[in-house]
């Protein structure tokens, strides 16, 4: 014990001499001091608790950081634990899955020509023409019944191929083959989407008809001599080819554009601007009759 401790202990001994006379005469051996009583221990505990609470309140008023509740993080670290400066550290958020690393694969473009030359039907060589009668409609009605209508330019024309299951020639009944049994793929560079679902800048459409061998198949409403550079008003439908091709869009109508004029299925030489205005004002597909 230091001299200051001895002096303090002596004053307490004199003060409590009247209550416990033996305290003043007892040797000041720390190891042999009496254990404190239960009442004194309880009072001492209350004093310590008051001091701790008061210190926390005082520290909060003075701007010292309050203790931060913490719990184990998933990686074993303590989330919300203070750093060396005493400021609670916010745990980093779990890393979200990002894009896959590595080179980006280019979007596959369907080849315009069939993988193998289509099987030809034997003579006689014929030209088969298929037409369908339907009610006369307006450009606005045709647009309303289409998934998408675009103005586009032809950048590629594929050879005709069979539009049959498996892409096989209808050899069992060749005399009953028709234009719907043959399709051509056409690459279109989209200049403008008039209405409907947005499409890619370059699309591949399929149309009925074409020539395989010496057999020629024509479908009413579709030109046989489509060439690169031609411009068309393309009406996209939702049918798929019967030969199993994917990644191609059905063009159920194809109106040729010549400068500021367009030819519809029923009326030739109309103002392109007027036709497009009618289409843009047409109701949604769900509201179409």
Pairing of strands 231-236, 182-196: unpaired
Pairing of strands 249-258, 202-208: parallel
Q: What are phi and psi of 182, to 5 degrees?
A: -130, 140
CA distance linking residue 117 with residue 156, whole number of Å? 18
Pairing of strands 202-208, 231-236: unpaired
Cβ atoms of 188 and 208 closer than 8 Å: no
CATH 2.40.50.120 in the chain is located at 127-287
pLDDT at 186: 98
CA distance linking residue 46 with residue 94, whole number of Å? 44
What number of residues does the chain have?
A: 289
Q: What is the residue whose two structure tokens read 């550079």?
A: 229
- How many other β-carbons are positioned within 10 Å of the β-carbon of residue 208? 24
Partners of residue 231 on adjacent β-strands: 153, 257
User: Cis omega (within 30 of 0) on the bond before 124?
Assistant: yes
> Which CATH number applies to 127-287: 3.30.530.20, 3.30.70.260, 3.40.50.620, 2.40.50.120?
2.40.50.120
pTM more than 0.85: no
pLDDT at 252: 96
Cβ atoms of 235 and 191 closer than 8 Å: no
Nearest by Cα to 165 from 242, 113, 241: 242
End-to-end CA distance of the chain: 105
pLDDT at 174: 86
pLDDT at 282: 78
Pairing of strands 215-219, 127-130: parallel
What is the helix (H) or strand (E) element at residue 141, kind and residue range? helix 139-144
Partners of residue 171 on adjacent β-strands: none
What are the tokens at 154? 């032809």
Backbone angle region of 213, left / alpha / beta, with phi > 0 → left and psi within -120 to 50 → alpha: left
Along the 289 residues of the chain, how does pLDDT read in single tens digits?
A: 566 656 665 665 555 555 554 444 444 444 444 444 555 445 545 454 445 444 444 444 444 444 444 344 444 343 444 444 343 433 433 333 333 333 333 345 899 999 999 999 999 999 999 988 889 999 999 999 999 999 999 999 999 999 999 899 988 888 889 999 999 999 999 999 999 999 999 999 999 999 999 999 999 889 889 999 999 999 999 999 999 999 999 999 999 999 999 999 999 999 999 999 999 987 765 443 3
């Amino acid at each position: 014990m230091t001299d200051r401790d001895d002096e303090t202990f002596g004053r307490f001994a004199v003060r409590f001499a009247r209550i416990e006379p033996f305290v003043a005469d007892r040797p000041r051996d720390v190891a042999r001091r009496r254990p404190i009583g239960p009442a004194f221990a309880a009072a001492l505990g209350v004093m310590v608790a008051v001091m701790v609470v008061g210190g926390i309140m005082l520290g909060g008023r003075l701007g010292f950081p309050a203790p931060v509740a913490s719990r184990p993080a998933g990686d074993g670290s303590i989330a919300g634990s203070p750093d060396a400066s005493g400021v609670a550290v916010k745990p980093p958020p779990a890393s979200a899955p990002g894009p896959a690393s590595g080179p980006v694969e280019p979007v596959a473009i369907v080849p315009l020509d069939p993988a193998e030359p289509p099987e030809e039907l034997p003579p006689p060589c014929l030209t088969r023409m298929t037409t369908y009668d339907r009610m006369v409609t307006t450009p606005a009605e045709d647009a309303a019944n289409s998934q998408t209508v675009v103005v586009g330019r032809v950048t590629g024309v594929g050879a005709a191929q069979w539009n049959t299951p498996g892409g096989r020639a209808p050899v069992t009944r060749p005399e009953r083959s028709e234009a719907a049994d043959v399709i051509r793929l056409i690459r279109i560079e989209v200049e403008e989407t008039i209405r409907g679902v947005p499409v890619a800048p370059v699309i591949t459409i399929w149309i009925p008809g074409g020539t395989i061998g010496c057999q020629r198949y024509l479908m009413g409403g579709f030109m046989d001599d489509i060439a690169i550079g031609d411009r068309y008003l393309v009406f996209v439908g939702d049918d798929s080819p019967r030969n199993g091709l994917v990644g191609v869009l059905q063009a159920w109508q194809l109106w040729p554009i010549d400068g500021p004029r367009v030819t519809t299925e029923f009326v030739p030489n109309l103002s392109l601007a007027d036709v497009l205005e009618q289409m843009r004002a047409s109701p949604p597909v769900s509201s179409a009759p």
